[in-house]
């Protein structure tokens, strides 16, 4: 479904954003990274290579077909308010985790229930939203190694979740349907637990894997959708 | 730390409670199951075998040194209010998951933030509370098979978490420190996601595993504590 789509990573000069942009570009996708400053976006894009372009966040959001938001929790609201006018009808993949430094090992979900619910409140119903990539360690993702971490995708539209899963797969990760957008609370909260595990068990980037024999849903139906 | 301790499973005639009681009793622990009806507790205990005793919930809570609460979300408040007077100073391990049927595949954390926070509010500060066993499938736990699911333990006291981890280990599961009691929200929410995964991917009891090389914390310190 993503053939030819331009993917814009908002906050793409950050650790997670850079890592996502690089993996997607290496996989042959057209990728733009956005930053508050065009100059630093261009410089990061140059360093990342693989044809990545650097623009301001608003320009990146304007030219992108799929928008991946990778900004710290404290920048979530102002960034989304900035890009809201230009992302109507587009798929926005939100990676925001509600970490409130310095107590990042403590689950602190926002009053809305999840960062994803806040994104929905800011962007409104005209926007397509999937939340994901909460639990993958950015410092591992920036390297080419295999990563032992599943990526749960949450959203109220199954086809939109499927696109996000396709992106995760393109990055060498296993993407999985995690259910409704409100379910994002589970993965968001889990990030604080993983940070706690990293410290307590001296792990270099703990992750999660779903166990059990998973049979992909409606494999045939998805094929038919692409064919028609 | 658990040598000779009597473990009481409140709601022990239910699926999760029976499974926990049976695994602990098979491991040589002294186990009591509680139910609203003494007769059904006694009957379940007889069927489970391994020396398990059956009492009413209040009697089980009275005689137990460690109390494991395994009741449905809708019975949480009244059950805890019933046993509150007799569990002061004891360790209560709360397994409550805030599932609100029929929408069990949807994360619905209570206003307190988690079922564990509600337990804390009901039992008060005189009680020692750890939350855990949220993500393990009861129908797998009742069998003797190996289960591919880690058990995250949440609580504000590290030694209490350690006791809960010891119980998980005695049940053949890998127990892990998950941090503060509020972090229980992560595992509670994850249960709805796992139910969604079971349905979507036709899995027979999906679980989670923490990935990465985990080094047990303060192994030496724990040894010393037991020795002194």
Instruction: List strands edge to edge, sheet with A30-35.
Output: A53-56, A30-35, A6-10, A66-69, A91-94, A128-131, A150-155, A174-179
| Residues contacting residue B190 through CB under 8 Å, at least 6 positions apart | A186, A190, B134, B135, B208
Over residues B177-193, mean pLDDT: 98
Tell me which chain A residues have a C-beta less than 8 angstroms from the C-beta of B216.
201
Q: Do B109 and A149 touch (CB under 8 A)?
A: no
> Could you give the CA distance from residue B198 to residue B141 in angstroms, rounded to a whole number?
16
Mean pLDDT taken over chain B: 94
Tell me which of A42-51, A217-226, B10-19 is least confident: A217-226
B219 → chain A, closest CA residue? A201
A104 Cβ under 8 Å from any chain B Cβ: no
Instruction: Answer yes or no: is pLDDT of A105 > 80.
Output: yes
Give the minimum alpha-carbon distance from B159 to chain A in angstroms, rounded to a whole number.
14
A111 Cβ under 8 Å from any chain B Cβ: no
- Cα–chain-centroid distance for residue A62? 18
Identify from B104, B105, B177, B200 which residue to disrupt to test chain A contact, counting A C-beta atoms within 10 A and taking the largest count: B200
Query: Judging by beta carbons within 10 Å of its beta carbon (0-12, 13-18, 19+), is residue B48 exposed, middle or buried?
Result: buried
Residue A12: predicted pLDDT: 98
Tell me which chain B residues have a C-beta less than 8 angstroms from the C-beta of A131.
none
Tell me which chain B residues have a C-beta less than 8 angstroms from the C-beta of A182.
106-108
**DSSP conformation class of A14:** S
B172 Cβ under 8 Å from any chain A Cβ: no
Among the partner residues B178, B193, B211, nearest to A149 by beta-carbon distance: B211
Residue A185: predicted pLDDT: 98
- Cα–chain-centroid distance for residue B128? 14
Interhelix angle B115-123/B73-83, rounded to 10 degrees, is 20
A6-227: CATH topology is Rossmann fold (3.40.50)
- DSSP state letters, B44-102: HHHHH-TT-EEEEHHHHHHH-SEEEE---HHHHHHHHHHHGGG-TTSEEEE------TT
**DSSP conformation class of A182:** G
Give the minimum alpha-carbon distance from A24 to chain B in angstroms, rounded to a whole number.
23
Identify from A114, A188, A210 which residue to disrupt to test chain B contact, counting B C-beta atoms within 10 A and taking the largest count: A210
Instruction: Give residue for tokens 């094929």.
Output: A223
Rg, Å, chain B Cα set: 17
What is residue A197's three-state secondary structure?
Answer: helix
Q: What is the pTM of this model?
A: 0.94
> Residue A30: beta bridge partners?
A6
A212 Cβ under 8 Å from any chain B Cβ: yes
How many C-beta atoms lie closer than 10 Å to residue A77's C-beta? Answer: 15
Confidence of residue B227 (pLDDT cuts 50, 70, 90): very low
- DSSP state letters, B98-109: ---TT-TTS---
Tell me which chain A residues have a C-beta less than 8 angstroms from the C-beta of B183.
105-107, 189, 192-193, 196
Which tokens sit at A68?
């991946």
> Could you give the CA distance from residue A34 to residue A7 in angstroms, rounded to a whole number?
11
Confidence of residue A221 (pLDDT cuts 50, 70, 90): low
B192 Cβ under 8 Å from any chain A Cβ: yes
Residue B155: predicted pLDDT: 98
Cβ atoms of A46 and A54 within 8 Å: the answer is: yes
Instruction: Answer yes or no: is pLDDT of A228 > 60.
Output: no
Buried/exposed B193-218: b ≥16 CB within 10 Å, e otherwise: bbbbbbebbebebbbbebbbebeeee
* Residue of higher predicted confidence among A4 and B182: B182
Among the partner residues B109, B196, B203, nearest to A212 by beta-carbon distance: B203
Residue A2: predicted pLDDT: 79
Question: CATH for B6-217, among 3.30.70.1400, 3.40.50.10090, 3.40.50.720, 3.40.190.10?
Answer: 3.40.50.720
Domain boundaries, chain B: 6-217
Instruction: Output the CA angle A11-A15-A20, nearest 5 degrees.
Output: 75
Instruction: Answer yes or no: is pLDDT of A57 > 70.
Output: yes
Over residues B77-87, mean pLDDT: 98
Q: Do A211 and B209 touch (CB under 8 A)?
A: yes
Confidence of residue B6 (pLDDT cuts 50, 70, 90): very high
The ipTM assigned to this model is: 0.94
Q: Do A208 and B209 touch (CB under 8 A)?
A: yes
B207 → chain A, closest CA residue? A211
Tell me which chain A residues have a C-beta less than 8 angstroms from the C-beta of B206.
210-212, 214
| Residues contacting residue A128 through CB under 8 Å, at least 6 positions apart | A89, A90, A91, A92, A155, A157, A160
Among candidate residues B198, B75, B186, the one with its CA nearest the CA of residue B134:
B186
Identify from A139, A147, A154, A190 which residue to disrupt to test chain B contact, counting B C-beta atoms within 10 A and taking the largest count: A190
Instruction: Give residue for tokens 């489970």.
Output: B48
Q: Summarize pLDDT for A133-175 with one digit per residue, the tens.
A: 999 999 999 999 999 899 999 999 999 999 999 999 999 999 9
> Residue A7: beta bridge partners?
A31, A66
> Could you give the CA distance from residue A13 to residue A36 in angstroms, rounded to a whole number?
9
Q: How far is CA A139 from CA A41, A148, A165, A167, A205, in A?
A: 19, 13, 21, 19, 8
Cβ atoms of A110 and A118 within 8 Å: the answer is: yes
Mean pLDDT taken over chain A: 94
> Could you give the CA distance from residue A16 to residue A95 in angstroms, rounded to a whole number?
9
- DSSP state letters, B123-181: H-TTSEEEE---SS-HHHHTSSS----EEEEEES-HHHHHHHHHHHHHTT-EEEEEESG
Among the partner residues B109, B179, B217, nearest to A105 by beta-carbon distance: B179
Report the percent of chain A where pLDDT is more than 90. Answer: 91
Tell me which chain A residues have a C-beta less than 8 angstroms from the C-beta of B179.
105-107, 192-193, 196, 200
């Amino acid at each position: 479904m993503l053939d030819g789509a331009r993917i814009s990573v908002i906050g793409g000069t950050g650790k997670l954003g850079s890592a996502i942009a690089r993996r997607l570009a290496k996989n042959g996708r057209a990728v733009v990274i956005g930053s508050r400053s065009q100059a630093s976006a261009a410089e990061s894009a140059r360093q990342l290579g693989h044809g990545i372009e650097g623009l301001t966040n608003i320009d990146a959001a304007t030219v992108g077909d799929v928008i991946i938001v990778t900004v710290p929790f404290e920048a979530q609201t102002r960034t989304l308010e900035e890009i809201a006018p230009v992302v109507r009808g587009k798929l926005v993949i939100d990676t925001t985790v509600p970490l409130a430094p310095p107590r990042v090992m403590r689950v602190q979900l926002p009053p809305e229930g999840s960062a994803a619910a806040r994104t929905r409140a800011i962007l409104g119903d005209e926007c397509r939203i999937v939340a994901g990539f909460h639990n993958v360690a950015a410092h591992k993702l920036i390297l080419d190694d295999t990563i032992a971490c599943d990526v749960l995708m949450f959203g109220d539209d199954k086809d939109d979740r499927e696109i996000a899963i396709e992106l995760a797969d393109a990055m060498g990760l296993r993407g999985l349907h995690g259910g409704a957008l409100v379910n994002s609370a589970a993965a968001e909260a889990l990030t604080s637990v993983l940070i706690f595990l990293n410290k307590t068990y001296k792990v270099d980037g703990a992750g999660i894997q779903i166990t059990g024999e998973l049979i992909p849903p409606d494999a045939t139906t998805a094929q038919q959708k692409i064919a028609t």
